[in-house]
Amino acid sequence: MKIFSQVIKPFIHLCNRFSSCKGGEEGFKVAIAGASGGIGQPLSMLMKMNPFVKELSLFDLQHTPGVAADLSHIETLCKVGPDQIYKALKDANVIIVPAGVPRKPGMTRDDLFNVNANIVKELAEAAAEVAPKALIAIITNPVNSVVPIVCEVMKKADKFDPKRIFGVTTLDIVRSNTFVAEALKINPKEVNVPVIGGHAGNTIIPLLSRSTPRVSFSDEQIIAMTKRIQNAGTEVVEAKAGAGSATLSMAYAAARFANSLMRGLRGEQNVIECSYVASDCGGASYFATPLVLGKDGVKENLGLGELNDFEKKEVEAAIPVLIENIQAGVDFVNNFK
Ligand SMILES: NC(=O)C1=CN([C@@H]2O[C@H](COP(=O)(O)OP(=O)(O)OC[C@H]3O[C@@H](n4cnc5c(N)ncnc54)[C@H](O)[C@@H]3O)[C@@H](O)[C@H]2O)C=CC1
Ligand SMILES: O=C([O-])CC(=O)C(=O)O
C-alpha cells in the first residue's frame, strides 16, 4: 500500500503532468548527449517513461552501455540504445545536451567555458551533419555562451535555423514556482512565474509582477526572492560541497522542457515555455523569453511583455553581461584554430 502511495501514485502523476498522450501512437527519436552523467541518467529515465518517445538514443564518453541496459528493462515501449555519436544523433527529432563539466564551490558558470565550449562545439558539428532538423536543447553551462556556439557551428555548416536551438532555462522557472509557492503556502503546481534574460547570476530575471497567481510581495520581499532565484544554482553547488551541481531538479526541468518540445512537434496548441534563444526581443542577440512551441520549434516569440520598473532595471543590468557572454561564444567558433 505504501509503495502505491509513495512511488506508483507520484509516478503516474508525473507522467500525467508531462503528457496527455495515450501512449505509443506517435513517437519521436530523442538523443541525449552526456547520458551517463548526473543529469543524463535521471533525464534518460524520465525520457524512457515519456509516452511521446519511441526511441531513446544515449551517447556519452563513458558507461553508456550499462545505463542503456539498465533502462531497457523498464516496462515502457520506448526502445533504448547506446550509440556512437553519429548514430545516436542521426535523424533525432530532439537532441538534449547535458554533456560537460559541472561547477564546484567558488566557481562561476563562466569558469566552465574553456572545457565545455569544445565539447558542445563537437556535438553541434555532428548534429549539423546528421540531424540538421532536430530541436536542440542545451543544458551545458555556461548556457549564455554555449547556445551561441551551437548557432555559430550551424551557421558555418549552412544549417542554422534559430527556431530549433534552445538554451534550457526551465530550472529557473521550476525554482521560481517552488519558492513563490512556499512563500504563498500554496501548491507549486498552481504557480507559474515567467523567467527571462539568460541563465547565470543577474541575467536570470524572474518576472514576479507576472506571476500566476498574482503575488503582492513588498519591495524588500521581491528583491530577496529575485536574489534567491538568481543564486539558487550556487545554493545547490555549495550544498553538494564539491560533488557537482543540480542534477535531479535539472533532469526534471529538462524532461518538462523536452516534453513541451514534443507537444509542439505533435501540433498541440498553446504550448508555452521560456527558453534562451537567438532573438531580437531583448536588447542582446540571444534572450530568454516565453515562446510558443510548434511543429518547427519556436512558433512565436512572445517577447518581454510588460515589465515593472524593477524588472526593467534588471533587464538593463543583464544586457551588457549577456552581450559579453554571447560574444565569447561567437568568437570561440569563429577564431577556432
Ligand atoms: N542549464 C541548467 O539549468 C543547468 C546546467 N547544468 C550543466 O549541465 C552540465 C552537466 O552537469 P552534470 O550532469 O552534473 O555533470 P556530470 O559530470 O555528472 O555529467 C556530464 C557527462 O557528460 C559526459 N561528457 C563529457 N564530454 C562529453 C562529450 N564530448 N560527449 C558526450 N558526453 C560527454 C561525461 O562523461 C559525463 O557523463 C554542466 O555543464 C552543468 O553546469 C547543470 C544544472 C543546471
Ligand atoms: O549552478 C550551476 O552550476 C548549475 C546550474 O546552472 C543551475 O543549477 O542553475
pLDDT at 9: 47
| ipTM of the predicted assembly exceeds 0.90 | yes
User: Which one-letter amino acid corresponds to residue 26?
Assistant: E
With a 6 Å cutoff on the Cβ, whether 109 touches ligand 2 is yes
Whether pLDDT at 11 is above 60: no
Q: Is 153 helix (H, G, I), strand (E, B) or coil?
A: helix
Query: Per residue in 270-297, pLDDT tens?
Result: 999 999 999 999 899 999 999 999 999 9
Query: What string of H, E and C letters represents the secondary structure of 284-296?
Result: CCEEEEEEEEECC
Query: Per residue in 183-210, pLDDT tens?
Result: 999 999 999 999 999 999 999 999 999 9
| Averaged pLDDT, 78-85 | 94
CA of 65 to the centre of ligand 2 (A): 27
Closest ligand to C-alpha of residue 244 is 1
| Averaged pLDDT, 52-69 | 97
Q: Which atom of ligand 2 is nearest to the CA of 103?
A: 3
pLDDT at 4: 44
pLDDT at 83: 87
- Phi first, then psi, for residue 92 (nearest 5°) are -65, 145
| Averaged pLDDT, 154-179 | 98
- Please name which of 197, 236, 190 lies closest in space to residue 215, comparing C-alpha atoms: 190
**Nearest CA residue ID for atom 3, ligand 2:** 103
Do residues 291 and 273 lie in contact, with contact meaning Cβ atoms separated by under 8 Å? yes
What number of other Cβ atoms are within 10 A of residue 157's Cβ? 14
pLDDT at 139: 99
Question: Could you give the domains of the chain?
Answer: 14-169 (3.40.50.720), 171-330 (3.90.110.10)
List of E strands, 148-294: 165-167, 195-197, 204-206, 271-278, 286-294
| Averaged pLDDT, 225-239 | 98
CA of 209 to the centre of ligand 1 (A): 33
Whether pLDDT at 68 is above 70: yes
Relative to beta strand 297-301, strand 286-294 is antiparallel
pLDDT at 24: 41
Query: What's the rounded Cα separation, in Å, for the pair 108 and 121?
Result: 20
223 band by pLDDT with thresholds 50, 70 and 90: very high
Q: Which atom of ligand 2 is nearest to the CA of 249?
A: 8
Joined grid coordinates for residue 214: 498574482
User: Does 199 qualify as catalytic in the annotation?
Assistant: yes
Radius of gyration for the alpha carbons in the chain, expressed in angstroms and rounded: 19
Joined grid coordinates for residue 41: 541518467
With a 6 Å cutoff on the Cβ, whether 196 touches ligand 2 is no
**Residues whose beta carbon lies within 6 Å of some atom of ligand 1:** 33-34, 36-40, 59-62, 98-103, 112, 116, 119, 122, 139-141, 143, 168, 171, 199, 244-247, 250
Do residues 88 and 58 lie in contact, with contact meaning Cβ atoms separated by under 8 Å? yes
227 band by pLDDT with thresholds 50, 70 and 90: very high
Average model confidence (pLDDT) across the chain: 93
pLDDT at 25: 52
Whether pLDDT at 144 is above 60: yes
19 band by pLDDT with thresholds 50, 70 and 90: very low
More confident residue, 6 or 282: 282
User: Which one-letter amino acid corresponds to residue 72?
Assistant: S
pLDDT at 2: 44
Burial class (CB in 10 A: 0-12, 13-18, 19+), 334: exposed
| Averaged pLDDT, 218-242 | 98
With a 6 Å cutoff on the Cβ, whether 237 touches ligand 2 is yes
